[in-house]
Amino acid sequence: MKILLAEDDQRLGKLVEHMLKQKGGHYVEWYENGLDALEYAQSSHYDVLILDWMMPGMDGIKVCQKLRESGYEKAILLLTARDSVHDRVKGLDAGADDYLIKPFEFEELFARIRVLSRRNYAPIQEDTAAFGNLTLNRSKYTLHRGDHEISLTPREFQLLDLLVRNKGQVLTREMILDRIWGYNHEVNSNSIEAYIKMLRKKTDEPGEKTKISNIRGVGYSIEE
């Protein structure tokens, strides 16, 4: 599953991210403040959101409320040290599907994620996007040209999805670095260029104009 983790505690965040990836086998994107969590939840596909209650920028309760108000249907799990009935009710009323009190055992976290994943949060329409002769399926993390599936790495899929979601707009290298690798990234614009070259190799057919345009000195774009 693809999971968004929002936790501002560095030690706990690293530990939860590691356990979800290594023990749970999940794909995890970790953010350290509520505003980032809200932005990425709205612009990317996740199966489960794990939100800490107390975060800088915007707390988990407010993030949850804003997502539900906008029609967000995916599963949301709140993490908090607050254990009163009033607080639990407040979290659930904000739109959370489940509530886990810190400190917690990872076996319980994994179990709650499994329960949430079994619930039906599927959108009414399949989450696909077509551009040129290609079809991107965000629910299955696949890219097809007709019946032929094109193999993408997780980062390649994220980058292509970001460009497709912003089709017709130019994304600067700084925006791409922030959206894909986050603020604490250890990559640079040369890394982006390498990913773009690989995406072009996989998505462009011989003799056709490349689908991903390079706006010199600015960034990249997929045209309408």
110: CATH: 3.40.50.2300
Instruction: Kindly state whether residues 17 and 76 are assigned to the same domain.
Output: yes
Which of these three, 66, 89, 118, is where a domain ends? 118
pLDDT above 50: residue 16 = yes
The pLDDT score that the predictor gives to residue 184 is 47
- Residue 123 placed within a domain: no
pLDDT above 50: residue 60 = yes
The pLDDT score that the predictor gives to residue 122 is 46
The pLDDT score that the predictor gives to residue 182 is 60
pLDDT above 50: residue 30 = yes
Q: How far apart are CA 118 and CA 100, in angstroms?
A: 18
The pLDDT score that the predictor gives to residue 43 is 84
Q: Which helix (H) or strand (E) holds 135?
A: strand 134-137
**Whether this model's pTM surpasses 0.75:** no
- 166-195: average pLDDT: 77
- Residue 25 placed within a domain: yes
- Residue 21 placed within a domain: yes
The pLDDT score that the predictor gives to residue 119 is 62
C-alpha distance from residue 23 to each of 16, 19, 27, 107 (Å): 10, 5, 11, 10
Q: Which of 4-8, 16-20, 54-58, 92-96 has the lowest mean pLDDT?
A: 92-96
Q: Which of 79-93, 96-110, 140-154 has the lowest mean pLDDT?
A: 79-93
State the pLDDT confidence band at 224, using cuts at 50, 70 and 90.
Answer: low
Instruction: Kindly state whether residues 132 and 205 are assigned to the same domain.
Output: yes
The pLDDT score that the predictor gives to residue 111 is 87
Instruction: Kindly state whether residues 83 and 148 are assigned to the same domain.
Output: no
The pLDDT score that the predictor gives to residue 9 is 92
State the pLDDT confidence band at 221, using cuts at 50, 70 and 90.
Answer: very high
Range of the domain at 181: 128-222
Instruction: Kindly state whether residues 102 and 180 are assigned to the same domain.
Output: no
The pLDDT score that the predictor gives to residue 206 is 86
The pLDDT score that the predictor gives to residue 92 is 80
Neighbours of 89 (CB within 10 A): 11
Instruction: Kindly state whether residues 152 and 200 are assigned to the same domain.
Output: yes
Instruction: Kindly state whether residues 102 and 27 are assigned to the same domain.
Output: yes
Instruction: Kindly state whether residues 37 and 101 are assigned to the same domain.
Output: yes
- 176-196: average pLDDT: 74
**What DSSP line would sit under 146-211, residue for residue?**
TTEEEP--HHHHHHHHHHHHTTTSPEEHHHHIIIII-TT----HHHHHHHHHHHHHHHPPTTSPPS
Q: Among 128, 131, 133, which Cα is nearest to 205's?
A: 133
Instruction: Kindly state whether residues 187 and 104 are assigned to the same domain.
Output: no
- Residue 152 placed within a domain: yes
Instruction: Kindly state whether residues 29 and 103 are assigned to the same domain.
Output: yes
- pLDDT over 70 for what percent of the chain? 92
The pLDDT score that the predictor gives to residue 22 is 82
Residue bearing the bigger pLDDT, 81 or 148: 148
